[in-house]
Chains A and B, each alone.
Chain A
Amino acid sequence: MKNEKHDPATEDRSDFGPLKGRSLEIGISLPRADAYGKVTGRERYAADYYGSDLVWAAVKRAGVPHARLKSIATETATALPGVLGVLTYADVSGSNRQGVVRKDQPVLVNDKVRHAGDAVALVLAETRETARKAMDLITVDLEVLTPVLDQEDALLDGAPLVNEDHADGNTLLKGEFRQGDPLAAAEACDVVVEAVFETPRVEHAYLETEVGWAQVSDSGNLVIVVSTQTPFRDRMEVAEALGLEANNIRIIAPYAGGAFGGKDGVTVQSLLGLAAMHARGRPVKMWWDREESIIAGTKRHASKMHYRVGAKSDGTLHFLDAGLSFDTGPYDHLGGVVMTLALEHGGSCYRIPNVGLRGRAVYTNNPIGGAFRGFGVAQVTGAMEQMMDLLASRLDMDPLALRLKNAVRRGDKNAAGVTLVHSTGLVECLERVSRHPMWTGRSLWKQSAGPFTRRGVGIAALMHGSGYGPLVPDVANAKVELTPEGTIRIYSGVVDMGQGNAATNLQIAGSILGQRAEQMELVQPDTDRTLPSGSASASRCTYTFGNALIPAAKSLKLRMLQRAADLVMARGPEEMALIPGRVRNMATGTDIPLARLAQFMDASERIATHRFRAPTAKDPVAVDEQIRLHGFPHTLYSYAAHVACVEVDELTGRVDVTRYLAVSDCGKIINPQIYEQQVQGGIAQGIGYALSEEIVVDQGIIKTPDLSTFIIPTAVDVPPMESHAVEIHEDTGPYGLKGVGEIATNGPLPAIANAVADACGVRVFTNPLTPERVLEALSRAHSHDGGSA
């Protein structure tokens, strides 16, 4: 068959369906620019790339959590008809190591297996079925080693080492933050509460599992189309791991079918690149099935958190001490960064003068811990917000009043020692909740519970930092073009994995340039066409890229108006105005179509770019340089207050969330519909985290490798949600905006846990709150009520 090579670039989307004819104004709920392509099935995701003469690549995985690799026998598999090759570490020319911070994850195992999902061999075959058959024919000779399965055991003397070359043994990273004098402060408190919390390992469960397509071009360049959050970083990682030059690699990132942090870093990329290098110019596809996705992909870190919080009798927080431990699995991935963000948010959104925080990320042979929406903050907020309720109960205070009393305001130092110099709307969120019927009417609602049902209402206050922290540059480079056809083309540098930033980019540039949707085009991230703008993560996408896009669009606008003014001999650009498809000379009423204007501009003039770097915290916080490098602290925070209403079935322990309220301070809103999507979707994921989701691991093996055992919420599990925004203008934000991508995910676990405790009179300290755990707590409470004394 002829080896046809197509340009795999994503189609520049210019047909936005129902958006046609609409003015792209800031602050209105426009339909998303990407919705039309998606709802018609036309949008091409990475999963939808095939091409003629396709080769399928598949991975043989270790299946055991810890073992020394002795040999791999590939001859039988290679001999199978339809198999094009079986590759091992010996075929990797580069470092064979991947990672965002510490590069410790092999593309293909060369010395040791460190978790059951490790990739051992790579099969290239004519069909997926043949690839699967071939995998069964590969014999891997392993010397099984004692696995490290528990994060506390991992730190015992004599524990087996997961990564022998790591100076700190099984401690990937540890950090400490102190403020004031926590030891003395503990003594000076009127009340101190203490608790230990455990949160589960959780799977992202994006609908589009890890997938990509790759081909080596005639000129020898490697092109990879992949579902990723980080195309520009991927390029560097693949280059180093495979021993290629980065500028010989092109990464194209179409709209991703969900990511939530699980595609922040390399998944299929290096494997696909390696396969393409051995496919003799044919295109190669790799698509992990659901089980492989769960086994090999990263997880939200399982955590153990020991908290002590103290207050004066009037409820003033005086002291916090917390020890945080995160099971990061065998590779750094983003584990050190996740732990560091948890450390920064350990005291959440409160003024606490005396703080001692210790955190560690621990290597084990469990599944890889990595980025997941909420990024460590979901865990610590879950703990701290339950501590606030425990404290309120001991002080006999209203839990909302206790939070209001200690809530950070602009100008305060927060519990991480950061002076809050940007918009800080937590008090407004809490006050809005305090007036809401869900809160004011809660006693009556609880009293009217039906038979065998208990009702409870819980609250949680939230904060979430955005961006990369003080040292790693949080930068975006926007690019906008007036095309020869007279359209405005936006080159998005940040991936849209579903959060809607591409549509927001269209809205921003369209508004500045006075154009309607049909005059606009969107280009998705592509290392050959768009400019490096960082990851789609960290609640930064629209904040950072938007701040680059606004000046780029304004600069193009000025250039267009100036050239138009010169053409018609107007006095200057102030006499000219951009209207849809045209520039108008306001003095004479004559119009120049944009396509005509474009003819009078050189290609270099028709493109405007702008770089923006996000602001950083200037406080000299007391953490070591490693922790600063891992992102401690931030300067810009979003805030929210959440309320959950629950019903607990006394007979089964089942918890139903019946209503949910979120009031958020994420700055001003560019598109209320997209904003609500982020809040509602975050809440739904948080509900799953609170009630049903848990990756169960036994002896290093995942026991919940599919969506019938790892239970995410369905349409009947998510209650009616109400979302309000306090819309405080953030001076540094594009149109006053702050990040909204993650914060909502952090609320449901503590809000629901507090509601369940409110309903039951006892608290379950281990999530998820499964019926078994709740029923056990209820029976414990009941036996106490009954009183054998």
Chain B
Amino acid sequence: MKISFVLNGEPVEIDTQPDRRVVDVLREELGLTGTKESCGSGDCGACTILVDGESRLSCLMLAAQLQAREIHTIEGFEQLGRLHPIQEAFVEIGAVQCGFCTPGMTLAAADLLNRIPTPTRDEIRAGLAGNLCRCTGYQKIVDAVESVAARGRHEAHSTEEDR
């Protein structure tokens, strides 16, 4: 089945089985291994992608559901060769350890900041509670998201600083 969608800003058409899991399509057919799989059952959030700007679990989505959607994976999160402010904060503040939860966590944080631009720490914790991390204890992840919110940079990424 042919499926057309927008992937990281570029229109793509793939020919695949409609019932393939999106995480497999991304990793195995499109070579986008930044999207990780960890539980395969929607418990951990490692395979989070953005579908029309909202976070979704690519291990629970089938290929046919990509049709006409706008998909963002971690590979498309940098803009014009520059880290997204959330990525920058994760690196600077030390929210990355083994890094296997990081792509999903980063995209979940983006979704959270889209919905709640200046969340409290409790709101950040609640917003990321679907994404498991076994290394960090979450504190530096919360610090990183909070710092992005505080600087109000998450929306103004490409405009503010290029001015």
Chain A residues with CB under 8 Å of chain B are 17-18, 29, 31-32, 34-45, 47-48, 50, 204-209, 255-260, 289-290, 497-500, 673-674, 676-677, 680-685, 706-708, 712-716, 718, 720-721
Contacts and interface: CB of A to CB of B under 8 A. Distances in A.
Given A35-B90, A42-B34, A716 B135 contact: no
A715 B98 contact: no
A418 to B, nearest CB: 31
B98 A18 contact: no
Given A18-B92, A31-B92, A290-B38, A40 B75 contact: yes
B94 A498 contact: no
Nearest to A34: B99
13 contacts: A32-B94, A34-B99, A39-B90, A40-B34, A40-B77, A40-B87, A207-B134, A256-B98, A257-B99, A680-B137, A714-B130, A715-B138, A716-B125
A498 B36 CA distance: 16
A39 B40 CA distance: 21
Contacts of B136: 677, 680-681, 684
B22 to A, nearest CB: 15
Contact of B96 (A38, A45, A256, A718): A38
B141 interface: yes
B39 A290 contact: yes
Given A31-B91, A207-B46, A714-B132, A39 B102 contact: yes
Given A41-B34, A207-B101, A34 B78 contact: no
Contacts of A260: 134
Contacts of B16: none
A718 B137 contact: yes
B96 A35 contact: yes
B80 interface: no
Contacts, number: 179
Contacts of A44: 33
A500 B91 CA distance: 13
A208 B130 CA distance: 17
Contacts of A37: 99
A34 B99 CA distance: 9
Contact of B98 (A36, A206, A674): A206
B74 A41 contact: yes
A685 B133 CA distance: 10
Given A40-B77, A207-B44, A45 B91 contact: no
Contacts of B60: none
A681 B131 CA distance: 15
A529 to B, nearest CB: 22
A720 B138 CA distance: 9
Q: Which 5 A-B pairs have the closest CB atoms?
A: A41-B34, A498-B98, A38-B99, A257-B100, A684-B137
Interface in B74-109: 74-75, 77-78, 83, 87-88, 90-94, 96-103, 106
A290 B97 contact: no
A257 B96 contact: no
B28 interface: yes
The DSSP consensus for interface residues of chain A is loop
Interface residues of B, number: 56
A412 B4 CA distance: 72
B129 A714 contact: yes
Given A716-B126, A720-B139, A708 B100 contact: no
Contacts of B77: 40-41
A680 B139 contact: yes
A677 B141 contact: no
B43 interface: yes
B149 interface: no
Nearest to A687: B137
Contact of A715 (B36, B75, B141): B141
Contacts of B44: 207, 707
Contacts of B39: 290, 706-707
A290 B138 CA distance: 22
A124 to B, nearest CB: 17
A209 B99 CA distance: 13
Interface string B2-42: 00000000000000000000000001100011111111110
Contacts of A673: 93-94, 140
A578 B130 CA distance: 48
A207 B87 CA distance: 19
Contacts of B37: 47
Given A498-B135, A681-B136, A707-B43, A41 B94 contact: no
Nearest to B87: A39
B33 A712 contact: no
Contacts of B55: none
Nearest to B74: A41
A31 B94 CA distance: 6
Given A258-B134, A498-B98, A676-B140, A715 B92 contact: no
A715 B128 contact: yes
B124 interface: yes
Identify the interface centre among B106, B132, B138, B140: most chain A CB within 10 Å of its CB.
Answer: B138
A255 B140 contact: no
Given A255-B99, A714-B129, A36 B137 contact: no
Contacts of A207: 36, 38, 44, 46, 98, 100-101, 132-134
